[in-house]
Structure 1
Amino acid sequence: MQRLRWLALGLSAFVAVLIGTGFRDPDEGFVQQIAAQLNKFYQAHYPEKSYLHLDKPVYAVGETVWFKAYVVDASRHLPDTLSRVLYVDLLSPQNQVVAQRVLGLQRGTANGDFTLSDTLTQGMYTVRAYTSWMRNASAEYFFSRRISVWRTDPTAAAPTTAPGRRKKAELNAATAPVQSRQPDVQFFPEGGSLIAQIDNRVAFKATDVYGYGVNVTGVVQDEQGADVLAFQSQHLGMGQFLLNPVAGKRYQARVKLPDGTVAIYPLPIAQPEGLSLSVAEIGDFLNVTIRRKTLAGTAPPDNITLLGHVRGIISYAGRGQIDDTRAFTARVPKNKFPTGIAHFTLFNGQNVAQCERLVFVRNEPSLQVKITPSKASYAPREKVNLDVEVHDAAGQPVAAQFSLAVNSAQALVANPDAHNILSDLLLTSDLQGFVENPAYYFQQNVPDAKMALDNLLLTQGWRRFVWKQLLANTFDPSPFPLERTLTVSGQVLNDGKRPIANSDVALILSRPDRGFANATTDPDGRFLFTGFSGSDTTQALVQAKGTKGNRSPVVRLAGSLAPLPKTPLPRLISPQPEIAEYLQTSKKQQAAERRFRMDTSKTIMLGNVTVRGKKAPPADPRKIYSQADATIKLSDLPGASSYINILQVLQGRVAGLTITGSGFDMRAQIRGQGSPQFLVDGVPVDDSYINSISPTDVESVEVLKGASAAIFGGRGAGGVIAIYTKRGNPSYDYSKDPTSPRLAYIKRPGFYRAREFYVPQYDGSTKAPTRPDFRSTTLYWNPRVNTDASGIAHLSFYCSDASGTFQVAGEGLSFTGTPGLGISSFSVQ
């Protein structure tokens, strides 16, 4: 066997060595090009990762989802990234956003919460987290986690007092996926292709309709139906086998499914020639084997290049030549890689990627987190003191930021899809698609976990970039801004299709501050407004001004995300005994919280009160006056859309109002008063802006003269012309409007202010309580646990009246990017 010549170790040192040698070999030049382009990609795109530590995996309606967010750079996992704004969504089982939190990040972290309304349907919900900058990459790399939300009476439907809610509930039940659909079984040759007359490792994965693994057995058969080999899954429907296919033959798998039925699945077609790449972990090394097969078998040797990197950090590069007679091998030390997914790519002599292989490398240990309660057992309402100690692998203290949850063991027993900060940052955040129970692969003393993880990486994709695009320097555009503060962004299009460059865009603020700002679109027609404080909800208008040749520009705001992949989520019908017991506990706790205010010592309970009244029509917040002298509704003017601007529409329609000029240079005068003050949705604007407003954007116009305008003081001395846009009216029905408004209305929420987890204070007395305290589902939650220079943090809280076993789980990150996890427990007698 031949061996690849080692070229480099690490990106920065690697580039320096190559530049210093002044080589002319085209292969070494290609490796240098790879290093430069990788470095350029990570500098230009600066990919980020997000992670949420949730207080528990199972919830009942009426409870609160508490979470701590961590945002890091995707390469070295350093906190305090460039982004300062994080979006956290709660999605229903039908992929609809139920609630959203916009959080301001400090040192890469933030905390928040969701209240699960008792009107929610029972089902599997999704929590996802992302920054604006992360939207430039695939949504597959957002943090995404499924959580179970049960009703405390699982057999009861959600309240459906409103007809719309009832219809939606019926629709959800009608469109639920059928559980009897046949499982999906796929086969993945190692390296990417099945090559004839070569031993190929083939991995397989069997999943149900919800993406969960199902255990299967089967046999591989040739096209004549003869058995070639038998196989069976090892963990979560995944496994592997060796196959040496005969050239020209097709193969299929006869698979026995969990329900006892048998189904036939085709294997990939074996290619008559090509390259194969195989990687095996042996001790402290990764043994890489490369083989070539050509039709003639006598083709001249070909140049090959092998590259290994972890999150863009090049740890191995080798080159050499290969023919059909001998395999090429590389013995790669694992200690040259940072911990994470090592991505091996094999390039041919034309510098085209031919094979890829993912391997997980474990090197630097995670943070050593020790959580120590002051006692193993406590009495109800007794004070619990906790010490959190964090050290690195060498035993040195580490300053880190943590979050900590204390839960009843009931909420944790039935958790088939466990996540933690190790499994997310080191594994799932670098993989596309759903990964079931990722925490399993990080359990210690589980002999099969290493093999199961290898099977996962043989069947799961990694595509943060595409080599062909990377090497050609054709990076995808980044339409979404990197947000240091809250922003408003979008694109201006001609007739809603082609981008308009150098277009003037106006932003008119109505709340919380009144103001006006201008921007100009870039070559792709995109605009950006920044500097919003985030202290309150911002309401504003954005309009692109029409110009010669582009009189109908359309503003398209950077809108909501596309829905998650349409993988159906399992329905929650009958809870397991542990979950049923948990739901009863939650029901009792919520009943006590409704009856007693747990955060005060004095509570007055009222009896039933009936309030009757008529619903008053909502006041228009854009108006500060009661009545206008003249009102023109554009819907009453069938030909209004044919006018150039709104002033031309007003011409001759209001007594005492004179409109002069033409085109985009028109003026208004009110007889006996002078030039009026113009308002757009309550915001003062100048004449030039009014000339650019298209009638298709306007709902109505109101004119105030004389005493009617006195409420505006000196500004209303010349009268007032108030223009109300369709976008400025949140209740405007666009389904009845065939026009395409170029005026965009924005209601931008400010930063969410997270609620504080209620922690009662008791004096340690064992007297019978006057008010019950049933806290147990989440006994304690603290999202801001910071260890000091000695690596220690001290915490304290009180037990409730509930007894049983409680688990303490702390997750966090050092300021150098190393994640850590600690678990402990205590009991309440």
Structure 2
Amino acid sequence: MTKKMIFVLGILMVSCGLSAQSKAEKALTTFSEKYPQEKIHLVFNKNSFVSGENLWLKSFVFSGYELSPTSTSMFVELYDSNKTQISKKILPLINGQGSGSFTLPENLKEGVYYIRAYTAWMSNFSEDFQTLRQFVVYNPSSPQKLVLNDTSEWSASVFPESGTFVEGINTKFAVRLQSKGIPPSEWSGYIVDAEKPDLKLTSFKGFDQNVGAFSLTPKAGIKYQLIVNDAKGNQRVINLPHVSDSGINLQVSTGNEAVKFSLKSKNITPGTLYKIIGTINNQLVFKVNSEKIFEKTFSIPTQQLVNGILQLTLFDDKENIVAQRLTFVQPGLLRIKKPEVLLSNLDESPRAENTFSITPNLNNSAYTVLVMDGSLESSEDENSLLSTLWLTGDIPSKIYTPSQYFKPNHNPEALDALLISEKWKRFDWRNMMAGTFPIISYQPQPYISYKGKVTIQGKPAPNTDLNLLFEIPEQGTRLSQVKTDDNGFFNLKGLIFEDALKFSYQLNDPKIPKEQVQVIFQPDYSFVPLKKALPESIYHLVQRIENDQPAESVKRSVATKNAQNNINEKATLIEEVRLKARKVDKTKELNDKLSSPLFKSLNENIFDFVNDNNSAQGFTNILQWLQGRVAGLTIEFSMGNYTPKLRGSRVNIYLDEMMVDPSLINSISVSDIAMVKVIKDYFAGGFGGASGAIAIYTKRGGITGSLSDATTSTKLKKTVLHGFDKETSFVNPDYNDENFKNISEDLRTTLYWNPYLETSSDESKIKFFNNDDAKNFRLIIMGFDTKDYIPIYYNEIVK
């Protein structure tokens, strides 16, 4: 995206006359390079919930109009409507995407709740750009119930194009509605002279529940008023701005081929040189600085720009801001890649098996796939991936159903009017040109990071080696050595693990008793308190009357919860039976338990010393035993040490996946070794991109077999680090399995949920089972093409 915009910038600046960077341009360059902006889109597995249910979410973190490379962790918090925090989690981000879940408490009262999502980097900027998503939780036993606020008062505001209203210049206005509840769906307005209220000068009809537009050529001395009426007869009277006898109006028209603009002026100071700067995503894409700026219409070609908000700013020769205007690039030609979906077998019968497949996109690592009962709403109905990417992620004001502006039948005029009523708030020109930039208090840390401090008898231990023995579930024990700095501190960065990570520690110096050593850890990240108020909701609570019967939609939600709980119980029992019956190759099981994904290869020789002693007891060095046992591997003996070579080239040795010197192997008893593997090709954990290795794993972490000193781990001090919050597994029933046949009622809303459906060279296939009454299905498929910087999006009801 950046390369595209810089290329266009070069063409347009040359055509308009190249000049040295001004104060505004230098400030913009600094802001763009040092302060990249992130925004988050959240997708929920459904639109409303019942207390006690699980809420699953998927996140897309963007930097501008591409997936963000900045953050690798995301903070997610759950609030009630009183801003009381109920739960919080930290989730990993892989290539700008993450997923997680919340278990809603059984005693949660009925009401509107909020999910807040942000990164550490986002905490340096305005909270207005953090994500706050509302959702509804029903609870029929709660003393109060939710009702839609469809009778709330509404207000209207009026905005002249570019912010100026000058005598004799035809000016376009946007009219914006706001309401604590639901804005009127049908409304209209007209303009009058305040002294002649019965004479309509012009009239219009609202585009949608947010905005409408009209044009007017003002005359001096007239006080104009806007009269707005809704379908229920409610009326609002708004005064238009004072008509100025001098000034400049920036007029913009946006099409698929170009953004065109011109300047209309009256009574301005002669000889003043003006310039216009165009920016997208805080980057300069257009500049014109011409003495003939009032004599022509300028055109910005859009074919090499991305969809997004273009800000045009008019400066005078002292770099004062004269006029500003936001518009959307190619509103009628949205660049969206629609995945090819092959609907091979769809059956609307109750509990029928359904399948479809998605043709892979090689520039998209994974799809997010959601299948719902087609009669129900999704979280994408209100604010979609497209509207977050292109609108609400950068425009924090309240917009009713922003997803409507990017649907196939959207109205480009409505989006343009909406942007007339907005201002770009990611930065302030005046502050930037004055040298005032955001204060960076939070740096993004790689994944989970911790700070540690080592003390001996309460005093810092500077420049000291500390051994850490990590107990990794299903992978055994990993040894790591760190060195403290001059003040006894050290850092652990880039840890990727869920729940808790147990480990033991001791100083490398055996002369210092363990009782004198203490290691204190603290996370190198922090949740940041929410300062702003929660947004208003279109719902409000009323007292539940005695014997009140829940709405049919709520009854269905309760039934859905019960069905899903039943399905989860069945799935758990089935999995337990499968685990007991499963026959696993013991050596493969050992390799899976000891080897991390980084130390696995398709071309490896494994020697199992837990399930087979391999006649190694007579050898004092495992490298000596390996001689002649692997084709291409030779072991050379020199100066009392064994040196392995693979196909004539020296290879590295790893002890519990940490690279060590061959001399260290002399001290490892063969009886303490659980497994050895010779990797013959490149592998991800190779130091410096090395090809080939010998990996030696010791009998630790619950491996069958005994250590030379079985009490070693108990002698060391232990502690626990907390990692990413574990996501609850989403369970889909399989009605081909007899165990699911006795589920009495299935009214599930979400029929399939997969936040990471990996793409491959073959078609990605999805199987799901219908509930008891769905007659069609809503398919939502999302991703992002990282080569063309284009969202991948599919949201359709299919039969």
Q: Shorter-chain TM-score: which interval? A: 0.5 to 0.7
Amino acid at match of 1:822: Y
2:314 aligned partner: 346
- Pairing partner for 1:224 from 186, 195, 200: 195
d(CA) in 2 for partners of 1:536, 1:603: 22
* Correspondence for 2:63 among 61, 65, 73: 73
Contact persistence 1:383–1:764 (CA under 8 A): no
Q: What's the counterpart of residue 546 of structure 1?
A: none
Alignment CA distance shift 1:269-1:480 (3 Å): farther
Question: Which residue type is aligned with residue 571 of structure 2?
Answer: D
* 1:371 maps onto 2:371 in alignment: no
Q: CA deviation at 1:328?
A: 4.1
Question: Which residue of structure 2 lines up, in the alignment, with residue 412 of structure 1?
Answer: 377
From 358, 364, 388, the counterpart of 1:388 = 358
Q: Tell me what 1:149 maps to.
A: 137
Between the aligned partners of 2:276 and 2:779, the Cα distance in structure 1 is: 45
Q: Is structure 2 residue 55 aligned with structure 1 residue 83?
A: no
> Corresponding residue for 1:55?
45
Matched residue SS, 1:369: coil
How far apart, in 2, do the equivalents of 1:411 and 1:807 lie?
8
Give the Å deviation of 1:565.
Answer: 4.1
Give the whole-Å Cα distance in 2 for the aligned partners of 1:407 and 1:568: 28
Unaligned runs of 5+ in 2: 452-469, 472-481, 503-524, 545-549, 577-713
The residue number in structure 2 matching 1:442 is: 406
CA contact (8 A) 1:58 1:148 kept: yes
Report what 1:725 is aligned to.
Answer: none
Shift of 1:214: 5.4
Structure 2 equivalent of residue 11 of structure 1: 6
For normalisation by structure 1, the TM-score amounts to 0.64
Q: Which residue of 1 is the match for residue 386 of structure 2?
A: 422
Secondary structure of 1:117's aligned partner: coil
- Work out which of the residue numbers 299, 302, 305 in structure 2 matches 1:337: 305
CA contact (8 A) 1:369 1:821 kept: yes
Please give the alpha-carbon distance, in whole angstroms, between the structure 1 residues aligned to 2:237 and 2:794. 45
Partner residue in 1 for 2:127: 139
Residues 245/62 of structure 1: CA separation in 2 closer, same or farther (3 Å cut): same
Change (3 A) 1:141 1:211: farther
CA–CA distance in structure 2, aligned partners of residues 768 and 99 of structure 1: 33
* Partners of 1:92 and 1:824 in 2: CA distance: 32
The aligned counterpart of 1:611 is none
Q: 2:41–2:385: 8 Å Cα contact kept in structure 1?
A: yes
Cα distance 1:785–1:595, how it changes in 2: closer, same or farther (>3 A)?
closer
Q: Confirm or deny: 8 A CA contact 1:772 1:801 kept in the other structure.
A: no
TM-superposed deviation, 1:267: 2.1
The one-letter amino acid paired with 1:366 is: I
Change (3 A) 1:242 1:826: closer
Does the 8 Å contact 1:369/1:389 carry over to 2? yes
Task: Establish whether residue 95 from structure 1 lines up as the match of residue 83 from structure 2.
Answer: yes
Matches within 5 A, 1:241-252: 241-252=214-225
**In 2 relative to 1, CA 124–476 (structure 1 residues): closer, same or farther, beyond 3 Å?**
same
Could you tell me how far apart the structure 1 residues matched to 2:740 and 2:444 are?
Answer: 56
Task: Provide closer, same or farther for how the CA distance between residues 213 and 351 of structure 1 changes in structure 2, counting only shifts above 3 A.
Answer: farther
The answer as to whether partners of 2:62 and 2:389 remain within 8 angstroms in 1 is no
> CA–CA distance in 2 between the matches of 1:565 and 1:301?
48
User: Does the CA contact (< 8 Å) of 1:410 and 1:582 recur in 2?
Assistant: no
User: How far apart in 1 are the matches of 2:764 and 2:11?
Assistant: 43
CA contact (8 A) 2:373 2:750 kept: yes
Q: How many equivalent pairs are there? A: 602
1:85 positional shift: 1.0
Deviations 1:700-750 (A, max 9, x none): xxxxxxxxxxxxx999xxxxxxxxxxxxxxxxxxxxxxxxxxxxxxx9963
The offset of 1:753, in angstroms, is 0.8
Specify the alignment match of 2:20 in structure 1.
29
TM-score normalized by structure 2? 0.66
* C-alpha distance 714-137 of structure 1, shift in aligned 2 (>3 A): closer
For the 8 Å contact 1:398–1:789, the answer to whether it is kept is no
Q: 1:90 to 1:196 in 2, by over 3 A?
A: farther
Q: Would you say 1:453 and 2:415 are equivalent positions? A: yes
Q: Which residue does the alignment assign to 2:435?
A: 473
The residue number in structure 2 matching 1:358 is: 326
- Residue 345 of structure 1: CA displacement? 1.3
Q: Is the 8 A contact 1:102 1:749 kept in 2?
A: no
Instruction: Tell me the residue number matched to 1:778.
Output: 750
Q: CA deviation at 1:134?
A: 0.7
Hey, what's the Cα distance between the residues in 1 that align with 2:224 and 2:273? 32
CA drift at 1:189: 0.9
Partners of 1:475 and 1:602 in 2: how far apart? 58
State the secondary structure of the residue aligned to 1:457: helix
Equivalent residue number for residue 305 of structure 1 = 275
Judging changes above 3 Å, is the alpha-carbon distance between structure 1 residues 96 and 461 closer, same or farther for their aligned structure 2 residues?
farther
Matched position secondary structure for 1:350 = coil
Residues 255 and 82 of structure 1, relative CA distance in 2, 3 Å threshold = closer
Q: What does residue 741 of structure 2 align with?
A: 769
Task: Return the letter of the residue paired with 2:19.
Answer: E
For 2:374 and 2:434, the matched residues in 1 are separated by 54
Distance 1:376 1:314, change over 3 A: same
1:241 Cα deviation from its structure 2 partner: 1.1
SS at match of 2:128: helix
Q: Is the 8 A contact 2:169 2:218 kept in 1?
A: yes
Matched, 1:201 2:172: yes
Residue 203 of structure 1: CA displacement?
0.6
- Against the structure 1 CA distance between its residues 293 and 810, is the aligned structure 2 distance closer, same or farther, given a 3 Å change threshold? same
Report if the CA contact (8 A) 1:219-1:255 is conserved. Answer: yes
Match of 1:588 in 2: 559
Residue by residue, what CA displacement relative to the aligned partner does 1:384-425 show, whole Å, maximum 9, x if unpaired? 22201256xxxxx64342111111123228x89522212211
Aligned amino acid, residue 72 of structure 1? F
Structure 1 SS opposite 2:340: strand
Query: 1:428 deviation in Å?
Result: 1.6
Distance in 2 between residues matched to 1:29 and 1:518, nearest whole Å:
47
Distance in 2, matches of 1:801 and 1:240, equals 47
Conservation of the 8 A alpha-carbon contact between 2:154 and 2:183: no
What is the deviation of 1:800? 4.5
Q: Using the alignment, how far apart are the partners of 1:210 and 1:528 within structure 2?
A: 53
